[in-house]
Amino acid sequence: MKNKVELQVHSNHSDGSYSVAALFKMAKKQGVAIFSITDHDSVVGIPKAFEAAKLFKISYIAGVELTVVYQKSELHLLGYGIDHHNAGLRKLTEFSRKSRAEQIAKMTIKLQKLGYQVSFAQVKSRAHGLIARPHLADEIIANPKNRAYFKKRHGKLPNRSLFIQTYIIPGKPAFVEKKYVPIKQGIDVIHKAGGFAFLSHPLGRRFSEGIGLTSYRNWRRVLFNLKRMGLDGIEVYAPDHFVSDQKTLFRFAKRNHLLMSGGSDFHNLRIPGIPLGYVSKKRKIPYSVGKNLLHQVNPKFTFRAK
């Protein structure tokens, strides 16, 4: 039965492993009825997504996930129902693309100095569009000499997640800060592109620690402030959230008239390693979340399957 909704997925236009067409094929096979691909700081895949939505007869909402900053902390901002032709949105994603490339180039140099064999050209060749930290980690660990060197230093063989957590997140030896867009600007750009702005994994604890609100003493106060800036909703259903977080965010959204979204944050079959439409093997994203969002966004920036 087609009763699944999936509102956060990443293609190989950002740091996912699959093409847009392959993701839609997967969504069709897994019974997803309402779908959004939210590539990091990229809208390049949206035209392909509209074509695939028509081919596979899946309702689709044009989406993006912007990297922004709030009080020096990185946060992720989901934009739904956006016009990918919008000049402001294009300008912002181009700024982020260049910022990410500069960051990865500098981190590559740091890793070279730490003893790893890698070049920026090799990392760049892995990316189909935007260059991100997973591309750097994958290029490093593809080299057997690097894997052996990591094991010698840390006592175990690396995978993508372990390498990123060990070297290229804030506070680690090869991390380099990138230039960010303020969250207010990100919200405004999404609105001017005709969309709705949602905070991604606001209480991320399991996989996205450091890019959520858990470091703030009072995350509710932060959300109130973001709502004043124009935030439309929050991602209640996310694999980063424990059941208690999900319940708390649901109540908060209801009481404060915020829209809700939900997504598996699918990158590939290992990350997060759960089916589309779920945030854990047992917790399914409510169909009502996708149905409500599809009703709210501008029909021009969606495809509605019959």
State the Cα–Cα distance between residues 60 and 54, nearest whole angstrom. 9
pTM summary value: 0.91
Helix 144-154 × helix 160-167 angle, to 10°: 60
Spell out the per-residue pLDDT of the chain, length 306, in tens.
568 999 999 999 998 889 999 999 999 999 999 999 999 999 999 999 999 999 999 999 999 999 999 998 889 999 999 999 999 999 999 999 999 999 999 999 999 999 999 999 999 998 877 888 989 999 999 999 999 999 999 999 999 889 998 999 888 999 998 889 999 999 999 999 999 999 999 998 766 666 888 888 899 999 999 999 999 999 999 998 999 999 999 999 999 999 999 999 999 888 788 999 999 989 999 999 999 999 999 999 999 998
State the Cα–Cα distance between residues 152 and 155, nearest whole angstrom. 6
Domain ranges for the chain? 4-93+183-303, 105-167
DSSP reduced 3-state for 66: strand
Q: Are strands 196-199 and 233-237 parallel, antiparallel or unpaired?
A: parallel
CB 53 within 8 A of CB 35: yes
Separation of CA 149 from chain center: 30
H or E element: which one contains 12? none
Query: Given this structure, which CATH class describes domain 4-93+183-303?
Result: alpha beta
H or E element: which one contains 221? helix 219-229
